[in-house]
């Protein structure tokens, strides 16, 4: 088969544009690209043997894309499965955080109250009292009954601390009573002067001279057998435990 050669004179810019077009269309040389262009315009021309037409290139790209997708599909399914599991784990964590937050918010007031109660209890056990020092309060009121101080968790320790600080502490049938020292002396003086044997009448006299709290103390002592009227002496006697 005879071959003929065609010589074309091009400027540098024209050649570079032609070379770029050849590369974009998949040709390795400008000559092959020009030959392909000529064959497209010549009736009965053959497709170049070494060039790759745009149609073929698009077909190859589509085939390659399908192949890549076939390779990625199994991994895509795994990724979707992992994402689903992660979403469920995140939902579980958020639900747990919500529950823990609610439990914490419910427990916080009790925790604060418990700390406050513990702090207050330590103050009471040191002989401190609501509104101030217990001894100062006792001097003002004269008497402190255990059943009037339900906030005390350890009555024995509390009243023992008052006793160490000079208060007179009585144990009347298992219940403690603290009496200011000076008030106690006045109380005993009033009892020594009582010459009536009737406890109700004697209680009224105590109330008139020392007040309602002293009358209550006298009534409790009579009920417990600590305050007894001695017929021989004609006076009230106190039988205090050692």
70-102: per-residue pLDDT in tens?
766 776 777 777 878 888 888 888 788 777 777
Q: Which residues pair with 132 in a beta bridge?
A: 129
Ramachandran region, residue 173 (left: φ > 0; alpha: ψ -120 to 50; beta: rest): left
| Interval 38-74: pLDDT, tens | 777 665 544 444 455 566 566 666 766 776 677 667 7
CA proximity to 213, closest of 161, 171, 178, 175: 178
- Asked whether the beta carbons of 159 and 147 are under 8 A apart, the reply is no
H or E stretch at 176: strand 175-179
Taking every pair of Cα atoms in the chain, the longest distance, rounded to a whole number of angstroms, is 165
- Asked whether the beta carbons of 202 and 182 are under 8 A apart, the reply is no
pTM above the 0.95 mark? Answer: no
Q: Which residues pair with 145 in a beta bridge?
A: 177
Helix axes 212-223, 181-193, angle to 10 degrees: 70
H or E stretch at 172: strand 168-172
What is the SS3 assignment for 230? Answer: strand
């Amino acid at each position: 088969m005879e071959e003929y050669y065609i010589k074309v004179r091009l400027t540098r810019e024209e050649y570079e544009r032609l070379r770029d077009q050849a590369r974009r269309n998949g040709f390795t040389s400008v000559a092959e690209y020009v030959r392909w262009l000529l064959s497209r315009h010549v009736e009965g021309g053959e497709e170049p043997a070494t060039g790759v037409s745009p149609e073929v290139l698009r077909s190859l790209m589509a085939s390659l894309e399908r192949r890549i997708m076939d390779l990625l599909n199994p991994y895509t399914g795994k990724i979707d499965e992992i994402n689903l599991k992660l979403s469920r784990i995140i939902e579980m964590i958020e639900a747990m955080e919500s529950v823990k937050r609610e439990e914490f918010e419910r427990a916080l007031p009790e925790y604060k109250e418990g700390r406050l109660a513990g702090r207050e209890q330590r103050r009471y056990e040191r002989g401190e009292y609501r509104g101030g020092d217990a001894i100062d309060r006792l001097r003002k009121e004269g008497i402190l009954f255990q059943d009037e101080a339900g906030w005390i968790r350890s009555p024995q320790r509390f009243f023992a601390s008052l006793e160490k600080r000079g208060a007179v502490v009585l144990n009347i049938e298992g219940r403690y009573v603290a009496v200011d020292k000076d008030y106690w002396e006045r109380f005993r003086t009033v009892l020594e002067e009582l010459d009536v044997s009737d406890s109700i009448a004697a209680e009224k006299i105590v109330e008139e001279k020392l007040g309602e709290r002293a009358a209550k103390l006298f009534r409790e002592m009579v009920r417990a057998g600590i305050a007894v009227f001695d017929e021989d002496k004609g006076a009230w006697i106190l039988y205090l435990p050692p």
